[in-house]
Structure 1
Amino acid sequence: MNESVKQAIIEFLQVGGPVVWILMAFSMVALTIVLLKFWQFSLLRAESVKTANISLEAWRQGDTEKALKCLNEKRPIDALLGFSMRAKMASDENVELIREEVERRAMKQLSQLRAYFRPLEIIATLSPLLGLLGTVLGMIVAFQQMEGAGSQVDPSVLSGGIWQALLTTAVGLAVAIPVVTLHSWLERKVERIADKMNDTVTQVFTSKSVKASVSQSTDGVDVLHVA
């Protein structure tokens, strides 16, 4: 890194004081979490239903072996679908028990996908508040200097103190806005995955290949409530 850039960063942190240091730490933590979540969703391809749709088509045609073989059970939707199919084939009698176990597994998977969302939410909430705190403290110092100068107040000194105080609010907002946006985007992504889980698992139980007793038991009832 260029020496002038380094010096500018150091001066920026010195002017902002400890509040800016804290906000910079928040931004690094948030960036780490976001990159980790991007990697997790990309690795799992959590929203993909391509193989699930092929499997469901085979399931509706009664080809259970092909239906299970098509699934990539490293993906959360496929894993839940595979479990539902095996449980359904093993027992048509205990549909309610199967449904409860499917829901438990779905909630566990969704909980893993939501891991570290809470720290993002906390950072998004605290960052503007810390920025405001830094501004208030900076304004207090600026007006103390103004009081100490008495009638010999230098406007440049006062304006310099004010812009330094406002700097922390700007940094707080600069950290909070992207974190709020990314947190909302990740939350919506998990909601879409939950909807797809519900849709695919429900199709296992409402397929025409299901026995009449099971069809009647699950008619009009969501198999999974995970939204």
Structure 2
Amino acid sequence: MTELGNMLAALPLFAMIRDGGWTMWLIAALSVITLAVVLWKVGSLWRLGVWGGRHSRRAVELWTQGRRHEAIQQVRGRPSARARVAQAAIGTSLDPRFDDQAAREETARVARQVLYRSREGLRSLELIATIAPLLGLLGTVLGMIAAFQVLQSSGNQADPSDLAGGIWVALLTTAAGMAVAIPAGVALSWFESIADRLQADLEDLATRVFVTSGDRPTARARLVEAAE
């Protein structure tokens, strides 16, 4: 254990964290959390299928052409976000148990669930982007206070190099806080843009299904198509 401790102490990054005090340890923990949240979020969006959409677009095209049975087959059972909403819109439109209002409400419910999952975890990135620079500033202020206390106690005998070293260590926490906040903010903006694009696509898909001019089947027609 002693040998491992000596190896860690020799690392420049570990030395900076150690010299920066407790605020640097908190910022270091935030950096690890940020990386974990970003990796988890990328995996979550991948499983949600936010970068897909070929089948849902094809299904809507078939729907507008009146080929309703083929349209529902394009998205049936597919787990991607757009396919789930397209399936809800087309499926409820073909289901005689749903009138127009009920079909819209059910599609909106599915879309809200998908959008919630697409935005899950973004609040944590927003919080990190906010508090990381504040922690860095707090560490700098505390370090400056300590440095000037040393200067006051030393009087005329103060060593300028010791004072400069204390100020350098204090400013280090501000730089570390910004180094964590900037990637967190960039990742937050990227994920929000993905969610916004997904929301716009879901609204477009649902609207194209529900407002197909004069092509929405009657209850009798939907019973026939369901039987097929």
TM-score past 0.5 threshold: yes
1:142-191: CA deviation from partner (whole Å, max 9, x where unpaired): 00000111111211011111011000000000000110111011011100
Which of the numbers 171, 193, 196 marks the counterpart of 2:198? 193
Which of the numbers 59, 63, 73 marks the counterpart of 1:69? 73
Partner of 1:126: 131
Is 1:19 matched up with 2:41? no
Identify if the C-alpha distance between structure 1 residues 74 and 33 changes in structure 2 by more than 3 Å, giving closer, same or farther. same
Q: How does 1:39-118 map to 2 (within 5 A)?
A: 39-71=43-75, 73-91=78-96, 94-118=99-123
SS for the counterpart of 2:52 is coil
Distance (Å, rounded) in 1 between the aligned partners of 2:84 and 2:152: 69
Which of the numbers 163, 170, 176 marks the counterpart of 1:158? 163
SS for the counterpart of 1:83 is helix
Identity %: 35
Partner of 1:217: none
Partner of 1:36: 40
Stretch deviating more after TM superposition (103-112 or 173-182): 103-112
Unaligned residue ranges in structure 1 (runs of 5+): 214-227
- Output the TM-score relative to the length of structure 1: 0.87
SS for the counterpart of 1:151 is helix
Shift in Å at residue 76 of structure 1? 1.0
Is 1:202 matched up with 2:202? no
Shift in Å at residue 14 of structure 1? 1.3
RMSD value over aligned CA atoms?
A: 2.3
> Of Structure 1 and Structure 2, which has the larger fraction of its residues in helix?
2
Which of the numbers 11, 17, 20 marks the counterpart of 1:7? 11
Aligned 8 A contact 1:59 1:204 in 2? yes
1:31-56: CA deviation from partner (whole Å, max 9, x where unpaired): 11111111122233314221112111
Q: Give the number of aligned pairs.
A: 214
Unaligned residue ranges in structure 2 (runs of 5+): 219-228
Identify if the C-alpha distance between structure 1 residues 174 and 93 changes in structure 2 by more than 3 Å, giving closer, same or farther. closer
- Output the TM-score relative to the length of structure 2: 0.86
Shift in Å at residue 6 of structure 1? 5.0
